[in-house]
A and B are shown apart, each in its own frame.
Chain A
Amino acid sequence: MGGTATAESVIRTVGLTKHFKDVRAVESLDLTVRRGEIYGFLGRNGAGKTTTIRMMLALIRPTDGYAEILGQRMAPNAVRAFERIGSMVETPGFYGNLTVRENIEMQRDLLGLRRSGWVDEVVEMCDLGEYLSRKASTLSAGNKQRLGLARALIHKPEILILDEPTNGLDPVGIVQIRTILKQLSTDRGITIFLSSHILSEVQQIATRVGIIHEGRLLEEIALDDLRLRNRTYLEFAVSDAKRAAWVLEDRLGISDYAVHEEGVVRVYSGLDRVGELNRALVEAGVEVTASRVSEDNLEDHFVKLTGGSDEDPAPERRVGRRGWRR
């Protein structure tokens, strides 16, 4: 991870660290983002995602280490780099007394862009046409997010850094943002770095992910590699998980399984014995309410690495005879 800058790495952090008094928000973070990637930066709330992004954009001074974007070390007044970066950090702020158009036009002026056609282009892309003459303060959360994105895109940046871009959006809005980001990546080759805690969302657009937990980068992995690495399993929803475990081990001799607390059993071997497994469970008095063949997704991988999600703390599991584990 991290390492030397190559021609294709456009974002690089080296030993990036931020301590707020006793709180170690980010610790020796080394990550690399390559040109053209959509990099999903994943972590639970408070994992250090926003702090990392703020350091990347020179909004926060690192305690140690540095961030480099497009070969330039990020510091206040890194004007050359900022010309090529579009960003949206957390909930975007606007001048509420100005209209949507005026907010975008102001951004255009500040970026020194002369062509007003670029404003129309981002307005169309972000679907803001009907709101142009409305005061920014009257926009819904979703439209504010769109306006933030429009502002970040107006100068056709090479790199887009987005912090939780789908925050506050309804499902339709989420799909729209996803479509825009995919389009930007495909059509314009923009490198996108986005942080999120909505894993299913990231899984649909990212090419590579970095997982941060308690300020430390646990892993960087391409989603294609993750798919290859993940195992297929047979999942049963059962009435009595403990008894199901007994059936699997003692009656069928299967030890490669995991029992979830909520009555879900995942069997990782013998996937061709679905009928036999089902029959054995039923005969032993275990009611099977559902069964399906599935595979680990990004969420499972994330949970394994970080030990649980915010909403759903890691369920206790029993794996084979090795006992219960988190």
Chain B
Amino acid sequence: MTRALKAEFLKLKGSRTLLWAAIVVIAYAILATVLNAVLLKDPAITARITSAGGSFRQAVDSGFYQVDWPNQLRVAVQGISGTWGILLFSFVATYVFGREYKDGTAKNMLTLPVRREYFIAAKMVVVATWIFCLMLLSLGLHAIGLVIVGVPGFAWRHVWGALWDGITVTFAIYLTLPLVAWITMTGRGYLRGMLFALAAVMVGNGLAATSLSRYYPWNLPVHLVGASWMPIVSVHPVLGSWIVSACVFLAGLVLATRQTDAADDVS
């Protein structure tokens, strides 16, 4: 297992995908910083957001668009739960699993004297490390942006709270990734996995207003902290939400492992 883990981390060395994933996070943080600067300069803008109605009005009424540390750190976490997080993290999973098929290295990997499930486990560790680093990068950059713009209301408890929310949301997304990995392996490349993630998010948007939504794993992050398109959390997750997500996680792991065992799809 250690051998597989070491190899999986080495495979990322010098990979441009690491850079591109970081660029997405950096771009979002820069955008948020610029927005904060604008909002801080003209507080009347926040009032105009109420015209969007619905949960946006509620959000303004609750002080969500006040430029202060707790609100802006929440916006940062909501970026992960509902803006870029699910798709970017799914892309990370499709890359880690799909490149073996895209680059034709799967046939070498599967003929090594290493148990195939170790590779799946090692890849999932790499995915976890990668996405948690992206989450930390995002929160870190947002915090730096808030310092640069001079946003008032700093307190460490806000930072720890955002960090906890970030970890919870990233974990919730991580639970969906083995299934994305399996779909990627069946498609022998990146495309099928990404299309699946996109479809899963779209189905989630459709379900968002229903009572089923809290049990839908791709909506769990939104129900935890909200999202930029649904800033107020109106449906809260229950234990069953986590159980369903855990089942999806296990099912994904089993299917991905079986996919390497069958190996009929090795290109």
- Interface of A toward B, CB cutoff 8 Å: 54, 57-61, 76-77, 79-80, 82-83, 85, 87, 89-98, 102, 106-107, 109-112, 135, 151
Contacts and interface: CB of A to CB of B under 8 A. Distances in A.
Interface residues of B, number: 29
A52 B10 CA distance: 32
B111 interface: yes
B11 A93 contact: no
A96 B103 contact: yes
Most buried by A among B4, B103, B115: B103
B105 A110 contact: no
A94 B105 contact: yes
Contacts of B53: none
B260 A76 contact: yes
A42 B180 CA distance: 40
B105 A58 contact: no
B7 A106 contact: yes
A91 B104 contact: yes
B16 A102 contact: no
A91 B10 CA distance: 22
Contact of A60 (B16, B113, B266): B266
A94 B264 CA distance: 20
Interface string B14-36: 11100000000000000000000
A110 B260 contact: no
Given A93-B104, A97-B13, A98-B10, A59 B111 contact: yes
B104 A92 contact: yes
Nearest to B105: A93
A197 to B, nearest CB: 20
Given A58-B263, A82-B111, A112 B105 contact: no
B50 to A, nearest CB: 49
A111 B104 CA distance: 19
A59 B110 contact: yes
Contact of B261 (A54, A57, A76, A151): A76
A109 B114 CA distance: 11
B3 A112 contact: yes
Given A93-B107, A111-B112, 10 more contacts: A54-B107, A76-B110, A76-B261, A76-B262, A82-B111, A93-B105, A97-B15, A97-B16, A107-B112, A109-B10
A110 B4 contact: yes
B103 A79 contact: no
B158 interface: no
Contacts of B10: 98, 102, 106, 109
A109 B14 CA distance: 19
B113 A80 contact: yes
A102 B3 CA distance: 14
A110 B15 contact: no
B105 A77 contact: no
Contacts of B108: 92-93, 107, 151
B103 A94 contact: yes
A72 to B, nearest CB: 12
Nearest to A80: B113
A59 B266 contact: yes
Most buried by B among A82, A91, A93, A111: A93
B104 A79 contact: no
A77 B7 contact: no
B11 A111 contact: no
B6 interface: yes
Nearest to A91: B104
11 contacts: A57-B107, A58-B110, A58-B263, A59-B107, A77-B115, A94-B105, A96-B103, A97-B11, A106-B10, A110-B7, A112-B113
Interface in B60-81: none
Nearest to A77: B115
Given A76-B110, A93-B108, A61 B3 contact: no
Contact of A79 (B13, B106, B113, B261): B113
B104 A59 contact: no
Contacts of B4: 110
